[in-house]
Amino acid sequence: MPNSAQAQLVRQLESIATLTDEDRTQIAALPFHMKNVAQRHDVMQQGAKLTVCCLIVRGLACRYKLAHGGRRQILSLHLPGDMPDLQGLELDYMDHSIQAMSPCEVAYIPHQSMEALILGSPSLSRALRRHAAIDGSIFREWITNVGRRDALPRIGHLFCEVFTRSRALGLSDGRSFTLNLTQAEIADATGLSAVHVNRTLQALRGQHLISSRGSTHTILNVEALERVADFDAAYLHLLPPRAALMS
């Protein structure tokens, strides 16, 4: 079951922590309630009573909030293996919504089971807390991105983040990655208007930093893009890749 919920969660956690065989067994034993969510449909809605956590198994999801007048702000993007509302375990109601940006496969896990898992295994509990902590770190970087960067570095930073996270999960070769967002959705993620996103993407292409074919994006010069985007991957708190450890 290479693409199962279990496998995705294990892969995700192994990008940020070290798991034992016992941990993997515990994860395999979790009760996953699978569901396919169509593109642009909500996975969970703001205000809903919280009884389950969700795990993104396939596709791209986002968290978002609506401000006055229906202006949408996307808060984070989620790749397979992410548990966007892990912290919801401690909360009573959703304070935001989760939506499928592409057709998604989602696994719902009852809070009860997650709590049992956490109580049963300190090391797994720790890995999950680390997952949630990194989630918080990514929020902090997004605040900085939206608050203090111009359009070009702001969008560039978003691309760098998704690229780096994709690579950490083995979802990318060295230069390309998939980002299934329309320009209007990129606008919602960066706090810009769709028109300005369009023009800024043209600028990024014009500077030979990125190129796109459909939803597949290629970073033509990783170093250069990271420089103009003011990107430093430290905030993702990724484990050094295996290769680096062996050198």
Partner DNA sequence: CGACAATTTGATCTGTCTCAACTATGGTGG
Partner DNA sequence: CCACCATAGTTGAGACAGATCAAATTGTCG
Binding partner at 194 among DNA, a second copy, none, C-beta below 5 to 8 Å by kind? DNA
Residue choice 2, 49, 68, 223 for contact with a second copy (CB under 8 A): 68
123-152 binders of DNA (CB under 7 A)? 150-152
Q: Please, is 198 exposed, middle or buried when counting C-beta atoms within 10 Å of its C-beta (0-12, 13-18, 19+)?
A: middle
For DNA, the closer CB: 49 or 213? 213
Please count the residues of the chain: 247
For DNA, the closer CB: 137 or 198? 198
201 binds DNA, rule: CB under 7 A:
yes
Strand, coil or helix: 46: coil
Q: What 8-state DSSP symbol labels residue 87? A: G
**One symbol per residue from 101 to 120: x for binding DNA (CB under 7 A), - otherwise; what is it?**
--------------------
Binding partner at 123 among DNA, a second copy, none, C-beta below 5 to 8 Å by kind? none
Number of residues counted as binding DNA (CB under 7 A): 19
Q: How far is the CB of 132 from a second copy (least distance, A)?
A: 7
Closest CA to 80 of 168, 188, 186: 168
Q: Where are the strands (E) in the chain, listed by range?
A: 33-37, 42-44, 52-58, 61-66, 72-78, 97-100, 104-110, 176-178, 210-213, 216-219
